[in-house]
A and B are shown apart, each in its own frame.
Chain A
Amino acid sequence: MYKKKTGIVGIIITIIILIVLVFISNMNLENLSYIENLVSTIVMPVQNGLTYLKNKITGNHTFFEDINRLQQENEELKNKNAELEKNLREFEIVKNENETLKEYLNLSEQYGNYKTKPAYIINKDFSNYNNVFVINVGKNDGIEPNMTVISEKGLVGYIISTTDTTSKVQTIIDTASTVSATLSSSKDNLICKGTIEESGVLKASYIPTTATLVQGDKVETSGMGGIYPKGIYIGTIKRVVSTKNIVDRYAIIEPAVDFDKVDTVLVITK
């Protein structure tokens, strides 16, 4: 009798569970969000704490990984930097060489008609009224006395003596120097001499009485005298000094070459 009653209760409970399941499965879930909220309120703080803890542990791990990576990166960058610095130094050297070669090229192009030999100034006279310097080419390079020396800007002087490897150049501003010159505009002839009256300028005398000299007029070699070829630029007229007798008037010429700064010259070998 007891077994029969227990079987009926079991069947009823199973039917009720089925009915509840069918009922729940057919319900709109949004109506259950308050239950979800309740669960979230209870569970999320714990979950958040656990996530934070986990992230912290994982983060520390990457931190150590980052240090190693950064050190490696730093080392690589240092090497790259050293290499770039080395390249920069090489670039500077090449740049300087390039500038010097350009200067030589400009000089050669400017005076293309002449066969020239480039040279560096290696020594300068210390005397207060002489202006002589030594260049690094000599007999071995085909240099001979009386050859003309020019620079990018104009006439420098001529060779007075040579050794096997060096040559002495007497500049046009030396007091012993005399250059036969001509005015570019009027073609009047002048004689330009070095002077100690004013540093780094030339004194032009023997000016024809009919000649009209204007400040800024260009002066170039006349080709007379046997040393300097014709048409090499000397400089410009700085001022004209008039005297009682017009025959004695003279002009001060500003040479195109700055003799304090010049360090590269060309020797005209032919």
Chain B
Amino acid sequence: MKNTLIIIGIILVFLILYFLQINFFNWFTIGGISPNLFVILLLFIGLFAGKRVAIPLGLVLGICLDFFISKKIGISGIMLGTVGALGGFLDKNFSKDSRMTIILMTVAVTFIYELGAYLLNYFIVSTTIEIIPFIKIVLIEILYNVILVIIFYPLLQKAGYYIEEAFREKKILTRYF
């Protein structure tokens, strides 16, 4: 029951972030570049709830985004699912208590997401590859995401541990008993 409520909560947060991303961050940009709030959300879900929750959520939420606005269905789904998986992987190998580690994770995951999405766009909808402008855009986006993570880290960590407590209980029991 608690897990279901948390999932509903995450979907509500996703909707809030969607409207923020579409409206507020459409003009609140750095050099015309907006952050990617969904990458941050899925990274934290992966880190705190594990990849079993983050991958399906990433896929479903990403496909929803594709339905809402994207050119082709599936690109955001695949990439957000990947971000969820990466979050779960990073949780096993790195500490999420350090702010610096979280920042580095954000940098890596944002880069992987954007690179993957760009390449998928290239193969699926035949976009032109422009490496230097793309790197410029991604660097600014990474910077923006990092700033947001630094600002909201205490809140994200608090919410993250609450989610972790709910989703990891069963795992601990199966491991030790």
Residues of A with Cβ closer than 8 Å to B?
123-130, 132-134, 160, 168, 170, 174-176, 193-197, 199
Q: Is the CB of A129 within 8 A of B137?
A: yes
A199 / chain B contacts, CB cutoff of 8 Å: 32
Pick the contact of B128 from A123, A134, A193 — CB < 8 Å?
A193
Whether B128 contacts A132 by the Cβ 8 Å rule is no
Known: A123-B69, A124-B26, A126-B25. A196 touches B133 (CB 8 A): yes
Which chain B residues in 125-145 approach chain A with CB under 8 Å? Answer: 125-128, 130, 132-134, 137, 141
- A-B pairs under 8 A by CB, number: 63
Chain A, Cβ-Cβ closest to B141: A128
Contacts of A128 in B (CB 8 A): 32-34, 137, 141
In the complex, A133 Cα to B127 Cα: how many Å? Answer: 17
Establish whether residues B137 and A175, one from each chain, have CB atoms under 8 Å apart when the complex forms: no
Cβ 8 A contact of A176, one of B25, B69, B121, B132 = B121
A170–B141 CA distance with the chains assembled, in angstroms:
23
Name A132's contact: one of B25, B70, B126 (CB within 8 Å).
B70
- Complex interface: chain B residues within 8 A of A132 (CB): 69-71
State the main secondary structure of chain A at its contact with B.
loop
Chain B residues contacting A126 (CB-CB under 8 Å) are 21-22, 25-26, 34, 36, 69
- B118 contacts partner chain A, Cβ-Cβ < 8 Å: yes
The 6 A-B residue pairs whose C-beta atoms are closest, nearest first, are: A175-B127, A176-B125, A196-B133, A197-B133, A176-B127, A126-B21
Q: Which B residues lie within 8 Å of A196 (CB)? A: 130, 133-134, 137
Residues from chain B with Cβ under 8 Å of A160 in the complex: 71
User: Are the CB atoms of A170 and B71 closer together than 8 Å?
Assistant: yes
Complex CA gap A124/B70 in Å reads 9
User: Which residues of chain B are within 8 angstroms of A170 by Cβ–Cβ distance?
Assistant: 71
Q: Flag whether B68 is at the interface (Cβ < 8 A).
A: yes
A194 to B71, CA, bound (A): 15
Cβ–Cβ contact A175 & B128, under 8 A: yes
CB closest residue in chain B, given A170: B71
- Min distance, Cβ B4 to any Cβ of chain A, angstroms: 29
| A124 and B22 form a contact (CB under 8 A) | yes
Closest to A200 in B: B32
B35-87 residues with Cβ-Cβ distance < 8 A to A are 36, 68-71
**Which chain A residue has the least Cβ–Cβ distance from B67?**
A163
Contacts of B34 in A (CB 8 A): 126, 128
A248 → B minimal CB distance (Å)? 14
A125 to B68, CA, bound (A): 9
Contacts of B25 in A (CB 8 A): 126
Residues in A with CB closer than 8 Å to B21 are 126
Residues of A within 8 A of B137 (CB): 128-129, 196
Task: Specify which chain B residues have a CB less than 8 angstroms from the CB of A130 in the assembled complex.
Answer: 70-71, 121
For the complex, what is the distance from the CA of A134 to the CA of B71, rounded to whole Å? Answer: 10
Chain B residues within 8 Å of A134, by CB: 68-69
Q: Are B32 and A176 in contact (CB under 8 A)?
A: no
The interface residues of chain A lying within 8 Å CB-to-CB of B130 are 175, 195-197
Closest B residue to A199 using CB positions: B32
* Contact (Cβ within 8 A) B26 A176: no
- Please name all residues of chain B whose beta carbon is closer than 8 Å to the beta carbon of A195 when the two chains form the complex: 128, 130, 133
Could you tell me the distance between the alpha carbons of A126 and B69 in the complex, rounded to whole angstroms?
A: 8
C-alpha gap A128/B132 in the complex (Å) = 14
Minimum Cβ distance to chain A for residue B22 (Å): 6
